[in-house]
Every structure is written in C-alpha cells, then in structure tokens.
C-alpha cells in the first residue's frame, strides 16, 4: 500500500524531471492523506531572476478563488443573511445588464453554479481602490445575456464578480478583508495574499508566457489581472500547503485543522451536491455544485477546481470521504501535461483513482456535412468562425479580442473533425489538449445556437 511518505519521495525524485519535460519553470505540490501533509517544490519562480521555488513560495491560484468566494457566500447562508434562491437584486438592487428581465430573475444559486446566463468574460479595470467591485457591477448595463437564467451551464467570471460584490454588501467591508477575516484567519493561513501588495512580502512566482516571436517563453509583462475581478480569480495567491488547508476544511465538514468552525457541515454538503450537468467536452468536470467542479466518472466522487491567470495555472482535487487531497501550482509551460503526471500519480497511488482519458481525434474520422455548425460565434473576448471548404474539411478560426488580445493572443486556425454527436475536435493539440467544440441548441433555421467549450458562445445573427 502506497503511503504519503512514498508519494513525497516520488515527488522529490520526479518533479524536477517532470517540470523540465513540460517546460514549467516552477511547481509546488501539496498532498493530504491520513491527516498529514507532504509538500514539495522545485524550479525557479522567475527565469529573469533565477530565484528558487520553495514549499513556502506563493503562486496565484486563479479561478480556484471561485470556491473561496462560494464559501464566503455559504457562510452568509449559514448565518441566515443570504438565501440561495433569492433574486440577486434583493442584495444588489442596482444591478443592471442589457436584459433587464434577466437581471431581475437571476438568483444567487445560479451565480454559484454558472447558470445565470450573463456574458461570463467581462474584464473591466475599475482601479485598485476598495470600491473597484462596486464600480465593476455598476459598469455591466450593456453586457449581453447569453441565455435565460437557469437554462444552461456557461462558466462565468462575471457571475463570481457579482457574488464578490454581494459578499461585500452583506459584510459591509471590501472583498479582500472578507477573505482575511472569514477564511485566512480561521484557517490559520500564514502564506496567503489577497493581492500583489501582500504577495511581494513572500517568495512569489511570476507567470511565464510563450514569446510571440517563437523564441521560447519568458516572464509575463504584468503579474495580475484587474483587482475588480478578484472574486473570480485575478489576485489570490498562496503556497500549496495553505490552499490544501482550505480544501481540508471542506473534507472535514467545515472545520479547520485546529477545530475552528468555518462552515457548517450542511453547507459543505450542499456545495458538493450537483446543481447542473456540464456539456461533455472531456476536459472539465461532469457537473457543477455550489462552487465546486464535480467529477463523477473517475470511479469515486472527486471534487476540485482549476485556475488560470497570466502565465500561471493551478489544480486542486479532493476525495470526500477518504481525506485525500492534492494541489499543484505552476508558473508557465505546459501545466496540463504536468497535472496529468503529478495529480494522476497521487490519485492513483493514494485513492485508486485514474484520471479520465483526454479526448483525442479518432484515427479515421468520418466526413460530415457541417452546415449545422458553420457560421460565426461571438463572446466578449473572442470571435470564432467555423467553415467547411470545398474538400469537406472543417476549419475553426479563433480571433481574440479585449483582454485576450491585450495579452498578446493571436488568431488561431485549426482543422476540426467529427468526434461525437454534435461535437467536433481539433486535429492538433494546443497546450497539450484537444479541446472539443460542442454545438448546442437550434437557432430556428436548423443550425446550432451555441458552440460550447466550457463557455457558451452564441451564434452571431446574420
């Protein structure tokens, strides 16, 4: 039987080799089993400075922050100050989006499980002041509604910014202070930072991005996205052990390691209950709870979340009922390959769980008529053109805009082939992944209404 010490020894031996294989400058890992934690780190926090990564080094956790925001919201539910099925406007009466009926109808629960339907990738820099979230919410009046509240899953940063503002209003204090008072302190965290002004006091990782000239990768030009998106994952950074302390609390019925109550056991269970199924694209969970991504095709219940910021990627997987958890934090390269090797090894050895195989194009895909799928789909951060040429080959051209364009993203063209019913898959992998395109709904003319890659992109009207 594999022990935690066996896993630690494997990590100490293999992690340096694995980060070299996947061109990851640095990685930190923490593993929980039997009530004990093992942590290992290797590499450099910045290729410009050569500062070595240690187990106390901070990495951005990106969208794993959403589970922290969800936990802050569920604490308010525990206190009787927040109702999950109440309209968001009960708490944010000034909320306006382009569809006023949708703004009036969307609920707190729908924000938590990404079904509110509002455009999900709204990145607006409203400054660094404590009023940045208030200003962000006040700037959403022209943001479109993708679908009616509750109709569909579509991953939403915007929804979690709204949740962060809701927490601020009910607590009457800034989001960062809520994190500190209601999570950092009761969990006993010592190496966690709500933003760059705190992170600079620690050994902090810098993200790395591929050069547009093709000359490898280098440190990202900026450390973080706007503070106004902090509740969705633009700021929070910590060492792997501190992130795992948060995960452990969710495994232990809402109680911190020292016995401090953080969340009721009922709220912990509610967060892990399925709220909505996710379109099957093979690179996300099978369903979503209240904040948690749920994986039910791994042979055992697994919960978790991933995160991506500017050149940093994070992964957390927990096995409820078994007291097992693993966190991987990285700062560039191909983090997904590293995730499969590291997290896959830990789950297999400690929990007997194998990761779901990644989707890949079939060796001899059938030729199909793609007329139902062709056209232009749009979102706040990209446009996608799907076309079929005279030889029957299907092409996707992704054109970044807004924040993605500002970060140096260029147009990407890829060939797609049939993968499953109403699902196409790229022939070539990007960052080690073949991310399928699921085509959903009907626009009334026999064509798909959305293309879905975790987020629903609506068809652009002709």
Tens of pLDDT, residues 54-84: 999 999 999 999 999 999 999 999 999 999 9
For residue 407, pLDDT over 70 is answered with no
| Angle, helices 65-78/157-171, rounded to nearest 10 degrees | 40
Give the active site residue among 57, 63, 154, 234: 63
**Active site (annotated) includes residue 379:** no
Sheet of strand 456-458, all strands in order from the earlier edge strand to the far edge: 375-378, 382-388, 394-400, 412-420, 423-426, 437-440, 450-452, 456-458
Beta bridge partners of 217: 210
For residue 360, pLDDT over 70 is answered with yes
At 364 the pLDDT is 94
At 213 the pLDDT is 64
For residues 278 and 97, the answer to whether their CB atoms sit within 8 Å is no
Please, which pLDDT band fits residue 431 given cuts at 50, 70 and 90? confident
The mean of the pLDDT values for the chain is 96
For residue 405, pLDDT over 80 is answered with no
The gap between the terminal CA atoms of the chain, to the nearest Å, is 61
**Residue with more model confidence, 415 or 216:** 415
Where is 78: in which H helix or E strand?
Answer: helix 65-78
Percent of the chain with pLDDT over 90: 92
Rounded distance between C-alpha atoms, residue 66 and residue 155, angstroms: 11
At 214 the pLDDT is 66
At 318 the pLDDT is 98
Q: Which of 66-80, 105-119, 254-268, 298-312 has the lowest mean pLDDT?
A: 298-312
For residue 391, pLDDT over 80 is answered with yes
Beta bridge partners of 219: 208
Mean pLDDT across 277-286: 92
Residue range(s) of every CATH 2.40.128.50 domain in the chain: 375-458
For residues 249 and 255, the answer to whether their CB atoms sit within 8 Å is yes
At 297 the pLDDT is 72
At 410 the pLDDT is 80
Residue range(s) of every CATH 3.40.710.10 domain in the chain: 1-358
For residues 338 and 22, the answer to whether their CB atoms sit within 8 Å is yes
Digit-coded pLDDT (tens) for 316-351: 999 999 999 999 999 999 999 999 999 999 999 999
At 21 the pLDDT is 98
At 246 the pLDDT is 99
Digit-coded pLDDT (tens) for 109-128: 999 999 999 999 999 999 99
Contacts of residue 258, defined as CB under 8 A and 6 or more positions apart, other chains included, come to 188
For residues 136 and 166, the answer to whether their CB atoms sit within 8 Å is no
The tokens for 422 are 């109403």
User: How many CB atoms sit inside 10 A of residue 308's CB?
Assistant: 15
Please name the residue ranges forming H helices in 272-412: 335-351, 402-406
At 29 the pLDDT is 99
Which of 3.30.450.20, 3.40.710.10, 1.10.472.10, 3.40.50.1820 is the CATH number of 1-358? 3.40.710.10
Mean pLDDT across 152-176: 98
The tokens for 325 are 């958890």
Rounded distance between C-alpha atoms, residue 413 and residue 399, angstroms: 9
Beta bridge partners of 192: 238
Rounded distance between C-alpha atoms, residue 293 and residue 287, angstroms: 6
Rounded distance between C-alpha atoms, residue 93 and residue 106, angstroms: 12
- Fold that domain 375-458 belongs to in CATH: Lipocalin (2.40.128)
User: How many CB atoms sit inside 10 A of residue 449's CB?
Assistant: 18
Mean pLDDT across 42-52: 98
Rounded distance between C-alpha atoms, residue 304 and residue 279, angstroms: 17
């Amino acid at each position: 039987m594999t022990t935690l010490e066996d896993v630690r020894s494997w990590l100490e031996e293999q992690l340096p080799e694995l980060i070299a294989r996947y061109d990851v400058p640095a990685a930190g890992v923490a593993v929980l089993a039997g009530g004990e934690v093992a942590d290992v780190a290797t590499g450099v926090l910045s290729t410009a400075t050569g500062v070595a990564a240690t187990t106390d080094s901070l990495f951005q956790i990106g969208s794993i922050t959403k589970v922290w925001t969800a936990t802050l919201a569920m604490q308010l539910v525990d206190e009787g100050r927040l109702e999950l099925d109440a309209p968001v406007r009960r708490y944010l009466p000034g909320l306006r989006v382009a569809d006023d009926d949708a703004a009036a109808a969307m609920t707190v629960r729908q924000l938590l499980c990404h079904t509110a339907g509002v455009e999900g990738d709204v990145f607006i820099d409203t400054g660094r002041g404590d009023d940045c979230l208030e200003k962000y919410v006040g700037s959403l009046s022209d943001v479109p509604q993708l679908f009616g509240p509750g109709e569909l899953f579509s991953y939403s940063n915007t929804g979690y910014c709204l949740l962060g503002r809701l927490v601020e209003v009910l607590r009457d204090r800034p989001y960062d202070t809520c994190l500190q008072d209601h999570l950092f302190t009761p969990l006993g965290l010592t190496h966690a930072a709500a933003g760059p002004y705190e992170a600079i006091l620690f050994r902090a990782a810098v993200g790395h991005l591929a050069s547009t000239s093709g000359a490898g990768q280098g440190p990202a030009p900026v450390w973080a996205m706007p503070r106004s998106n902090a509740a969705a994952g633009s700021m929070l950074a910590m060492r792997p052990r501190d992130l795992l302390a948060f995960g452990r609390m969710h495994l232990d019925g809402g109680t911190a390691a020292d016995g401090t109550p953080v969340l009721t056991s009922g709220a912990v269970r509610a967060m892990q209950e399925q709220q909505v199924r996710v379109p099957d694209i093979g690179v996300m969970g099978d369903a979503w709870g209240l904040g948690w991504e749920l994986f039910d095709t791994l042979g055992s219940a697994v919960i978790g979340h991933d995160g991506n910021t500017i050149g940093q990627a994070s992964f957390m997987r927990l096995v409820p009922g078994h007291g097992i958890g693993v966190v991987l934090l990285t700062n560039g390269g191909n983090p997904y390959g590293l995730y499969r090797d590291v997290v896959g090894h830990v789950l297999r050895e400690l929990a007997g769980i194998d990761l779901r195989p990644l989707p890949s194009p079939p060796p001899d895909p059938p030729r199909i008529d793609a007329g139902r799928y062709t056209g232009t789909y749009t979102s706040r951060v990209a446009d996608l053109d799907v076309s079929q040429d005279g030889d029957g080959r299907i092409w996707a051209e992704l054109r970044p805009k807004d924040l993605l364009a500002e970060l140096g993203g260029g147009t990407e063209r890829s060939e797609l082939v049939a993968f499953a019913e109403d699902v196409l898959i790229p022939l070539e992998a990007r960052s080690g992944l073949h991310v399928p395109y699921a085509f959903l709904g009907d626009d009334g003319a026999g064509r798909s209404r959305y293309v879905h890659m975790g987020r629903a992109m609506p068809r652009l009207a002709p």
